[in-house]
Amino acid sequence: MEPVQRVLIGIGGGIAAYKVCEVISTLFKAGVQVRVILTDSAQQFITPLTVATLSRHPAYTDADFWQPHQRPLHIELGEWADVFLIAPLTANTLSKLSYGIADNLLTNTVLASRCPVLLAPAMNTEMWQQVAVQRNWQQLLTDLRFHALAPGYGLLACDRVGAGRMAEPAEIVTGVQSLLHTSGKRDLLGKRVLISAGGTREYLDPVRFIGNPSTGKMGLALVQAALHRGAYVTLVHAPIEWAVPQGVQAIAGVNAHQMQQAMLENFADADLTVMSAAVADVKPAEYSQEKLPKRSLPEQLPLAPVPDIVAELGRRKQPHQRLIGFAAQTGDIITPARQKLQQKKLDAIVANPIDKPNVGFGSDFNSAVFLDNQGRQIEIPHCSKLKLAHQLFDFVSGLYSRGQKTEVRSHSDLS
C-alpha cells in the first residue's frame, strides 16, 4: 500500500495565484493530502473558501496563526509536510526567505520545517531582473533544501512580454511529484545525462515515412526526473509534440541517421546515457525528392538497414560511462531484453510491454521490468512515466561507479 503523501502549499500575493487552484485540484485528485497557507496579500486574489473547497480542508491564514492551538500552528504544519510548495513566490517573500525572516505564518512555517521546498516565482520582468531580487534568488538556492521552478517567458499581467511568468500548473505538479519520490535528494548533481526520445521517421518521399507510434513521453519523463535530481541534461529527440523543459540542451532530428550523429557527438561527455527513443530498424532503400504519385508506389518496397545507434554507443562506451537501453516488446518481454542487454554491451535495460492497456506508446503510464548486467531484475507495476523514470534512476544509481555495491530502493519508496 502506498504511503500517504502530504503537500503544504504557500500562496503569495500575485495574480498567478489563480493558477495554484489547478495545482491543488490535480494533487487532490491524485490522492495527495493538501494543506494551504494564504498570505494576507494572497487573499486579495483568491479566497480561503476557494482553496478550502479544492483541498477539502480549511485554509490557513495569519488570523489562524495568532489563535491558540494545542501546538504552535507553524510547528504542526512544518512537521506535517512531505513537500512544501510556494507559488507564486513574490519578491517580498523571496527576500524574507533569503535572510531567514519570519514575520507571518508562511515564513515561520518554512523555518519550522525540514522537508524540501519547491519555489515558483512570479513577478513583473523589471522586478525579476532587479539586482537585489536576483541576489536573493541565487542566495536562497545555495541551500539545497530549496528547489527552483524558474519563471518562464511570456505575456504578463502588466501587458509586458518577458521573463517573470510563473511555471504552468502541469510543470509545478511534476516538480512536486518528483520531490515526493526523491525527498529532495540530488543524486545526479553535477552529472551529465544524455537522453534520446521520440520515434524516428524514415521517409520514402516528402510526405510518406516508415515510423512508429512513439510520442516521446517516456523520454520527457526521464528528462524531468534527471533535471529534478540535479543533472545537466542533453536531449536528442525525433519529432515531438511537447515543449522541452527549461535548462535542457535539446537537439532535434528526424531520422535514425540524424539521431545517430547527434548522439555520437554528445556521447563522450555523458556520464549516463538513456536511449529511450524508438528508432526505426529499416528505411526505404531510395528516397524521392518529390511526392510519388499513388500509381508510382512500388508493390514491394525495397528496404535498407539504418544505423544501430545503441550498439555503436556500447562499442564506444568508456569504463566510467553507463548506458541504459529500452526494449519495447509484446509477449515475452524478458528474453529479448536480456539478449539486447548482453549483445549491445548495456549496463541496464528497460523491458516494457506495448500489448497491455494504458501503457507504452502515447500513454502517460507505463510498466516495465528492469534488468542490469549484474544479474539484478525488478518488476515495476503500472505507474506514471515520471514515477517509472525516477525508479529507473534509483535502480541504476549504483552503476555510476564500477564495482560499487548497489543498494536498490523499493519501487514503493517515494522524490
- The three state secondary structure string of the chain is CCCCCEEEEEECCCCCHHHHHHHHHHHHHCCCEEEEEECCCHHHCCCHHHHHHHHCCCCECHHHHCCCCCCCHHHHHHHHCCEEEEEEECHHHHHHHHHCCCCCHHHHHHHCCCCCEEEEECCCHHHHCCHHHHHHHHHHHCCCCEEECCCEEEECCCCCEEEEECCCHHHHHHHHHHHHHHCCCCCCCCCEEEEEECECCEECCCCCEECCCCCCHHHHHHHHHHHHCCCEEEEEECCCCCCCCCCCEEEECCCHHHHHHHHHHHHCCCCEEEECCECCCEEECCCCCCCCCHHHCCCCCCEEECCCHHHHHHHHCCCCCEEEEEEEECCCCHHHHHHHHHHCCCCEEEEEECCCCCCCCCCCEEEEEEEECCCCEEEEEEEEHHHHHHHHHHHHHHHCCCCCCCCCCCCCCCC
> Are the CB atoms for 212 and 166 separated by under 8 Å?
no
Q: Given 21, 115, 158, 383, which residue is catalytic?
A: 158
Phi, psi of 136 (to 5 degrees): -65, -40
Tell whether 185 is in a known binding site.
no
What's the burial of 372, exposed, middle or buried (CB within 10 Å: 0-12/13-18/19+)? buried
* Set of cell numbers at residue 283: 528505411
Residue 310 assigned to a binding site: yes
Determine whether the annotation assigns residue 326 to a binding site. yes
Per the annotation, the verdict on 158 as an active-site residue is yes
End-to-end CA gap in the chain: 17
395 in a labelled binding site:
no
Is 309 annotated in a binding site? The answer is: yes
Please check if 361 is assigned to a binding site. Answer: no
| 308 annotated as ligand-binding | yes
Residue from 188, 386, 343, 198 nearest 275 by CA: 198
Residues 267, 291: contact at Cβ < 8 Å?
A: no
Q: Residue positions in the annotated binding site for CTP?
A: 281, 291, 307-310, 326, 340, 344
Catalytic residues: 158
Binding-site residue numbers are 281, 291, 307-310, 326, 340, 344
